[in-house]
Structure 1
Amino acid sequence: MSVYSIKDLEHLSGIKAHTIRIWEQRYDLFSPQRTATNIRYYNSDDLKLILNIAMLKNHGYKISKIVAMPYDILREEVKTIGLENQTYEDLITGLTVSMIDLDENGFSIILDQCIELLGFEEAMMKVVYPFMKKIGILWMTNSINPAQEHFISHLVRQKLIAATDKIEINTDGLLYLLFLPEGELHELGLLFANFLLRSRGNRTIFFGQTVPLNALEEVYHKLNPDYILTALTTAPESSEVQKYVNSLGKKFKDCSILITGSKVIGQDIEIPQNGQILNQFEDLVSHTEISILKA
């Protein structure tokens, strides 16, 4: 069973840990277990409850009214809100609850609602990736089971591939090579970047996970791409990132290199003259608009 700290509950619900503690005492909301060192921890039912409370509060319900509801009534209220007035946060909450329960059908229904309501690109930008970012933090701190993270990644990956396959390839567009370094397996961001580029009339070749630089270099000389895009999230090792970035600049000096990922964003990494850091997906969108004007 997954366990969560009070900071995890705060992170996912948006309700301050101090407030959660007050509600615990005043309304007897939870009965958290304690570690051998007397630190509170919570289970999946506790997390679902605080997520439901957060949604109702965000829609004007008073906490005193919420805690007086039987749980089945509380869930019905949440469902009604979800059907009538969905905000980004409501949708993210729904995805989170589906993840906790490993509810593939529920997750798919909410994801399809997001796409129908917002369009594919905005659904990914405003709901799915903020959700994945929250879940990624929990995964890195071992607060969720890796199976839950893989479950979600698989479903989102399917949607990204299906949406990209529907786009007609523009054979006259600028050419981008997309790849991940050796040892890097987190490809959802790169898959979405592939969608964004193709949807704006660019050509892309998607190499995906764990690509050796010597193999990429061979393809590079054969295809002469306009851009190379990569993401450094868990690889290479932090001590090797600057060396790796320098290698990209030297090996692929005749094209522009776009780099993203937590290993470079906000870090003291020197970027080669032909390189650029993308801090968020909106930066890639802006880049493509500028590139099209220059072409």
Structure 2
Amino acid sequence: MAVYSINDVENLTGIRAHTLRAWEQRYDLIAPRRSKHNVRFYLDEDLRELTTIALLNKNGYRISKIAAMSPTERAELVTSLSALNVSPETQLDALTLAVVELNEYKFSLILDTNIGQRGFEETMMEVVYPFLDKLGVLYFTGSVTAVQESFVGGLIRQKILSATDHLPAIQKSDRTVFALFLPKGEQQDLSMLFIQYLLRKRGFHTLYLGSNISPTDLADLCRVTRVDYLLTHLSNSYVDRPVEDLVADILDQCTEARLLLSGYQASLHDLSAFVRVEKVSGLGEILAFLAKLSKREGLSIASGR
């Protein structure tokens, strides 16, 4: 059973600590527990209820009206709000509530509704990535657990794979070939899977190799098939070996391919001496790069939501 401090509740719900205390005293919404040292704390059920209350309040419901509702009425109202095309802040709050509850149905309902309205790519860019940024902060501060983070990652992975599977197959062998991989110690697989989706949607032949791929593995790949671009990501947690050494090794093993490098570690290092290396800082630059390449090759973006 998870235990949350008042600071955790503030981080997760957006309710200021002084506001929370006022609501507790005036409306008797949630009675905080007390440790033997008289420090208030909250349990999972308290957090779920407070997140629901915060979401309704942000959507214009007066706290006096919320207090008069039963927990079931509040939950039903939140579900109906979450299914509508509402503000980005409400979307993030509703997704956070689904994570706190480990509620797959609610989480999928919000994403599927957005996908139906916006399409998959825009949903990822405008809903999922801002939510993952928020989740990262909450995980760093200890407000959500590793289990909750893994739960979210699994659901998003399923959505990306399903969307990718529904794209038309690429048949022309003369199109630019991308190989996507993560070196040892890198865990940014959700980002790489989404980049695979972006590439295939734009008509590029794409080979997704996964994680823990060594330069020697890449040499085996390049011996078997043509690869025009190798694409990888090096986050701030990458420490397996010096970046310059890794880059040099990759280029030595794949002598014809260019290397597209993204991530925090790539931005820290001067790689201008490597003529076949190009940095792409974030999804915005990756999309701009693909737009130029698509125009040059006369490719159109595949349909599909």
State the alpha-carbon separation in 2 of the partners of residues 128 and 33 from structure 1.
34
Asked if the contact 2:231/2:259 (under 8 Å) is kept, the reply is yes
AA at the equivalent of 1:145: T
Partner secondary structure for residue 197 of structure 1: helix
Tell me the equivalent position of 2:303: none
Partner secondary structure for residue 42 of structure 1: strand
Aligned equivalent of 2:205, options 203, 206, 211: 203
Deviations 1:27-72 (A, max 9, x none): 5544445678887543323332333233223322233443443333
Tell me the equivalent position of 2:222: 220
Q: CA deviation at 1:214?
A: 1.5
The within-5 A match list for 1:73-112 is 73-112=73-112
State the alpha-carbon separation in 1 of the partners of residues 279 and 32 from structure 2.
43
State the alpha-carbon separation in 1 of the partners of residues 18 and 215 from structure 2.
49
AA at the equivalent of 1:54: A
Asked if the contact 2:12/2:51 (under 8 Å) is kept, the reply is yes
State the alpha-carbon separation in 1 of the partners of residues 33 and 261 from structure 2.
43
Q: Which runs of 5+ in 1 are unaligned?
A: none
State the alpha-carbon separation in 2 of the partners of residues 18 and 269 from structure 1.
45
State the alpha-carbon separation in 1 of the partners of residues 19 and 249 from structure 2.
49
Deviations 1:240-275 (A, max 9, x none): 4454355446655643322334x437x633334543
State the alpha-carbon separation in 1 of the partners of residues 279 and 149 from structure 2.
27
Q: 1:138 to 1:218 in 2, by over 3 A?
A: same
State the alpha-carbon separation in 1 of the partners of residues 70 and 31 from structure 2.
17
Asked if the contact 1:13/1:54 (under 8 Å) is kept, the reply is yes
Tell me the equivalent position of 2:66: 66
Q: 1:221 to 1:4 in 2, by over 3 A?
A: farther
Aligned-pair identity (%): 37
Q: CA deviation at 1:207?
A: 0.3
Tell me the equivalent position of 2:301: none
Partner secondary structure for residue 201 of structure 1: coil
**Which TM-score applies when normalising by structure 1?**
0.81
Tell me the equivalent position of 1:138: 138
Aligned equivalent of 2:180, options 178, 181, 186: 178
Q: 1:258 to 1:33 in 2, by over 3 A?
A: farther
Deviations 1:206-251 (A, max 9, x none): 0012112221133235434222111224753287445435544665
Tell me the equivalent position of 1:187: 189
Asked if the contact 1:236/1:244 (under 8 Å) is kept, the reply is no
Tell me the equivalent position of 1:287: 289
Name which one, 1 or 2, has greater alpha-carbon Rg: 2
State the alpha-carbon separation in 2 of the partners of residues 245 and 22 from structure 1.
57
State the alpha-carbon separation in 1 of the partners of residues 56 and 18 from structure 2.
19
Asked if the contact 2:83/2:113 (under 8 Å) is kept, the reply is no
Partner secondary structure for residue 207 of structure 1: strand
State the alpha-carbon separation in 2 of the partners of residues 28 and 249 from structure 1.
65
Q: 1:236 to 1:217 in 2, by over 3 A?
A: farther
Q: 1:270 to 1:51 in 2, by over 3 A?
A: farther
CA RMSD in angstroms comes to 3.3
**Which TM-score applies when normalising by structure 2?**
0.79
Asked if the contact 2:91/2:110 (under 8 Å) is kept, the reply is yes
Q: 1:64 to 1:203 in 2, by over 3 A?
A: same
Tell me the equivalent position of 1:169: 170
Q: 1:84 to 1:160 in 2, by over 3 A?
A: closer
